Amino acid sequence: MAKAKTEDMTDGGTGGGTDGAAGGATDAGQAAAAGQAAAAGPGVESVLGYEQARDELIEVVRSLEAGGTTLEESLALWERGEELAKVCRHWLEGARARLDAALAEESGES
C-alpha cells in the first residue's frame, strides 16, 4: 500500500485529505503512508508548494490531535509533519530573501 501512496505523491498528491470532513484513522493512515513515501523517495518535497505543504501539515496535526492511531502511525505522522514544516520554512525563507532583496534594491535606487 505504501508503494501506491508513493506513486500518488509523485503525481502531485498530498497524501492526506484537505476537506477536513474525514479526519481520524483514515487520514492518519494516508498521512503515515505519505510520510513513508517521502522517506523512500528524495525530491518529493521539491514538488510541494507552500500552500500544499501547509495544508498537509494541518491535516497531519489534526490526525495527531484526534488520536486513535498506533504508535507506528503516530511516529510516521510526526516525521511527515517535521518534513512538511521544513518545506514551509524553506518557502518562507525564500520569500523573506526576495523581499529583502527588493527592499535593498528599492532603497538603492532612491
Residue 42 pLDDT grade (very low, low, confident, very high; cuts 50, 70, 90)? very low
List, for residues 1-23, the tens digit of each pLDDT value. Answer: 333 333 333 333 334 433 333 34
Residue 57 in this model has a pLDDT that exceeds 60: yes
pLDDT for position 43: 54
Angle of the 24-40 helix axis to the 2-10 helix axis, nearest 10: 70
Angle of the 71-109 helix axis to the 24-40 helix axis, nearest 10: 70
Q: What is the mean pLDDT of residues 98-103?
A: 95
Half-sphere exposure of 68 (CA within 13 A, CB side): 11
In this structure, what C-alpha cell is assigned to residue 43? 525530491
DSSP letter at 14 equals -
Residue 103 in this model has a pLDDT that exceeds 90: yes
